[in-house]
Amino acid sequence: MSLLPFQNPFRPGAGHPPPYLAGREDEKAEFAKLLTQNPVMTNMVLTGLRGVGKTVLLETFKPIAVEAGWLWAGTDLSESTSVSEENIAIRILADLSPLVSGVVVQEVEKRRLGFHAEVEKVQVRLDFDLLKRVYDSTPGLSADKLKAVLELVWSCLTATNCKGIVLAYDEAQNLSDQADRNQYPLSLLLDVFQSIQKKGLPILLVLTGLPTLFPKLVEARTFAERMFHVVTLGRLNEEECRQAITIPVKSKNCPVTITEPAIMAITKSSGGYPYFVQFLCREIYDSYLQQKASGVLDPVVTVAQVVRKLDTDFFAGRWNRVTDRQRELLILVAMLSNCDDEFSVSEIVAKSKESTIKSFSSSHVNQMLAALSDNGLVYKNRYGKYAFAVPLLGAFIRRQQASLS
């Protein structure tokens, strides 16, 4: 059989949809349920570590919303969105305008210049320029201006078949208030949506981000705890991993059959994280087919070989950015039996006293965890516990230590 027809279907890129989305049916059903609200009282926070497929799942929500008669708008929230309250407001206006620019608000008469002036009717549409004029001309604060725009938009859509609007934003953990500059874009977003939803406007907010997102929302506005349903994406189970590994190649005329031991090894090494499943599978198939094409009669590709490449491509850059003392602390965390879940300062201090590594005090651990949090390696939840922000970081650290012994 020719090797040419097979195109490797696995896509380990950030946010790239996999060839087959395994699992996540419950999450899609929960989103679909939110679309049946009348009035809208509950929004969604979709959260989880990097690599669990938040962005991909968010994209699968869009056709569900469109099929249910809702408009969908959204994008990534960059740090620049948090610069000011006006920035987040303009971001929303820019996202809404392509959806509603075809809506005619009114027709006005306009006279042409000339000796025989003719009157023509000009349609005023709900485009960005009009939304911005309404925003600028509304008196009050940025929140008042944004509310006025959203109320105008929905009043113009009530005559259509539109059921509502979904505003969906990825990487929402980047949004934060700037108290030192007297700018509160995150609080503005929450205040505006609480207000318009109390008035019955069917505009649903979906925010996606790292586990730090929801505590940040609650810190900005305590009512956020009652405003959102939090959906935490976890790992795929064994059957879902198997589907993610085997189904794509069955439909792509793959000349290679993956063995049962290999499926089990990929499942174990990936930890059930969709990104790692995609990475391992792509590398395994690429390596095997390249060896075959170069004339190797019996190509050998092991999952262990590919895991080493994963260490180099995914983990090494992050590991190289920390100091020697920070590495020692992370090594202690990796030695904890609960390192893949949550761990506390006291557990790290106790482990340091048991190991050959120079011991840490509680204050020192707190300081270093704060620095590691800024580097994106750990995060603190609101229960006073910490967790790795990078999936399977503990296993990587243990492999590093094993290679040195």
Going by pLDDT thresholds of 50, 70 and 90, the confidence category of residue 232 is very high
What is the per-residue pLDDT for 256? 75
What is the per-residue pLDDT for 108? 55
Q: Is the pLDDT of residue 99 over 80?
A: yes
Q: Which tens digits make up the pLDDT trace of 198-208? A: 999 999 999 99
What is the per-residue pLDDT for 66? 95
Q: Which tens digits make up the pLDDT trace of 105-131? A: 765 556 565 555 565 666 678 889 999
Paired strand residues for 107 = 123
Q: Pick the closest to residue 355 from 377, 328, 394 (CA basis).
A: 328
Average pLDDT on 339-358 reads 90
Lowest mean pLDDT among 102-106, 116-120, 224-228: 116-120
User: 324 or 376: whose pLDDT is higher?
Assistant: 324
Q: Across the chain, what does the average pLDDT equal? A: 87
Going by pLDDT thresholds of 50, 70 and 90, the confidence category of residue 285 is confident
User: 189 or 112: whose pLDDT is higher?
Assistant: 189
Q: Which tens digits make up the pLDDT trace of 246-277? A: 988 886 677 777 888 889 999 999 999 999 99
Give the Cα separation of 167 and 30 in Å (integer).
16
Q: Is the pLDDT of residue 3 over 60?
A: no
What values do phi and psi take at 331, rounded to 5? -65, -40
The kind and range of the H/E element at 230 are strand 228-232
Q: Pick the closest to residue 150 from 167, 170, 125, 175 (CA basis).
A: 167
CB atoms within 10 A of CB 239: 11
Going by pLDDT thresholds of 50, 70 and 90, the confidence category of residue 1 is very low
CB 256 within 8 A of CB 289: yes
What is the per-residue pLDDT for 29? 95
CB 320 within 8 A of CB 314: no
Average pLDDT on 44-58 reads 91
Q: Is the pLDDT of residue 368 over 80?
A: yes
Q: Which tens digits make up the pLDDT trace of 300-348? A: 777 888 888 889 988 988 899 999 999 999 999 999 998 888 899 999 9
Lowest mean pLDDT among 139-143, 309-313, 401-405: 401-405
The reported pTM is 0.85
Q: Residue ranges of the alpha helices (H) in 43-200?
A: 54-67, 85-100, 128-137, 142-157, 185-198
